[in-house]
Structure 1
Amino acid sequence: MPATWVQYPPLESVTRPNVETAAAAFYLGRQPQTLRVWACNENGPLRPIRVHGRLAWPVAEIKRVLGVK
């Protein structure tokens, strides 16, 4: 277990339109660096939006990729 363990709410209960890279990686079962590579190469199953130089991953797209309603 990492020294800074963060617990995220179930994806079904997330009401924010976007989440940060660490949360998106948790929901998708990938490492955050994988999502950063997707963003750089623009070749992943979803694309982030950039807000002041930071990546924000659309919750609706995460749900679509995972088949969650």
Structure 2
Amino acid sequence: MQNVPKLQIAASVAIPPALAAVAQGRDHIKTSEFAHAVSLATQTILKNHCLTGECYGIRPVKRGKFLLWPVAGIAQVLNGGA
């Protein structure tokens, strides 16, 4: 099986203020909140996840019927670490 490089999340990532307002202290956010944070449509995020299993190198956690995206990974992408 081929090794695919994964997004390495640093222990201390600077979270942008707008993302911090959306996350409200949570470690994971819903797909709609992730889409709003990166200025994309929710369906675009879902399509990328469906085709590749990730979006911008971030893999979500499935809880019930929700895909939950790690705030630290989103912050790293928004800070130019993708």
TM-score range, shorter chain: 0.7 to 0.9
Whose radius of gyration is greater, 1 or 2?
A: 2
Query: Which gives a bigger RCO, structure 1 or 2 (Cα 8 Å, sep 6+)?
Result: 2
Deviation digits for residues 2-28 of structure 1, max 9, x if unmatched? xxxxxxx82134310111111100001
What is the Cα deviation at residue 54 of structure 1?
Answer: 1.6
Find the residue that maps to 2:46 and give its secondary structure.
helix
**Cα distance in 2 for residues equivalent to 1:43 and 1:62:** 12
Match of 1:44 in 2: 55
The answer to whether 1:18 aligns with 2:18 is: no
**Cα distance in 2 for residues equivalent to 1:43 and 1:22:** 15
Match of 1:67 in 2: 79
Relative distance call for 1:10 and 1:30 in structure 2 (3 A) is same
Say if 1:38 and 1:47, in contact at 8 Å, map to a contact too.
no
Structure 1 unaligned residues grouped into runs of 5+:
1-8
Number of aligned residues: 60
RMSD: 2.0
Deviation digits for residues 10-67 of structure 1, max 9, x if unmatched? 2134310111111100001100001111221225212211111321111111101001
